[in-house]
A and B are shown apart, each in its own frame.
Chain A
């Protein structure tokens, strides 16, 4: 099942540039075989910095909007 608590990755769009890996302050991202992947168990805090630096929109941090 998709883990909804980590950013979404579109493997086809990722060119493995590594910018998101460098920007993630929790060291939650790695490049495996030239494509970004999420480190298992990382407690991503949804800072959205990885999304901000990716020009390919290969990693995204979507929000669910809920009426409270």
Chain B
């Protein structure tokens, strides 16, 4: 199955980076874009490399992640069509802070940092847009860092699991990772990581569509912890 590739002009029109620009201005930007395609699982950007381009997803889904020293993967974002990734090195120079991998066949449009800089100088409206987008991102990342470093989410997830657990006899309430994220006040990515941690420390088991609480007391302890 091949999903539609969003044409350049359509993507630029939809992108918050370029809102407020005229059609002529968008056409100028569109001429600066280059196109790349990737197979599923292919690495688009490697953490630590110098890439120097801002990417817009024209088709498919891209996973942005960091690997920790012990090889654990922390998903920072799943980037969907019309959205952008790799902003940081574009705006402050330097290396890619995270890796990006194609979750599906992917088509991206790239804009080299040099070209982006020229656009920013020529069109202050774009600079204003960038500030707005970066502020929003910063807010998200700060909350992610807070959750990850203080581990409060994991106790909230433990509490949710205990509250919603049934005995398996009657059809119990069913929860998605998104539901749990909404209840814990966090991002879906953080829930995935918390569940993994609970599996690793032996308090729960995950069997396809079932989460089995294997050590209720230990899970209670985690739920009680305040960091």
- Cβ B1 vs Cβ A22 within 8 A: yes
Residues of B within 8 Å of A22, CB to CB, are: 1, 3, 40, 60-61, 103-105
Known A-B contacts A19-B61, A49-B103, A53-B103; the reply to A65 vs B213 at CB < 8 A is: yes
**Which candidate, B29-37, B120-128, B163-171, is the interface stretch facing chain A?**
B163-171
User: Is A17 an interface position by the 8 A CB rule?
Assistant: yes
Residues of B within 8 Å of A46, CB to CB, are: 208-209
Give per-residue flags for A3-16: 1 if the beta carbon is below 8 A from chain B beta carbons, else 0: 01100000000000
- Cβ A64 vs Cβ B211 within 8 A: yes
A62 to B60, CA, bound (A): 24
User: Is B13 an interface position by the 8 A CB rule?
Assistant: no
A55 to B3, CA, bound (A): 15
Residues of A within 8 Å of B225, CB to CB, are: none
Give per-residue flags for B1-21: 1 if the beta carbon is below 8 A from chain A beta carbons, else 0: 101100000000000000000
Q: Which A11-45 residues have a C-beta within 8 angstroms of B?
A: 17-19, 21-23, 25, 30-31, 44-45
User: Is B143 an interface position by the 8 A CB rule?
Assistant: no
A11 to B188, CA, bound (A): 22
- Cβ A45 vs Cβ B208 within 8 A: yes
Task: Tell which of B4, B60, B81, B174 touches A64, judged by Cβ atoms closer than 8 Å.
Answer: B174
Task: Tell which of B4, B78, B161, B178 touches A65, judged by Cβ atoms closer than 8 Å.
Answer: B161
A57 to chain B, nearest CB (A): 7
Residue of B nearest to A19 (CB): B61
User: Is B136 an interface position by the 8 A CB rule?
Assistant: no
Residue of A nearest to B164 (CB): A65
Residues of B within 8 Å of A61, CB to CB, are: 176-177, 209
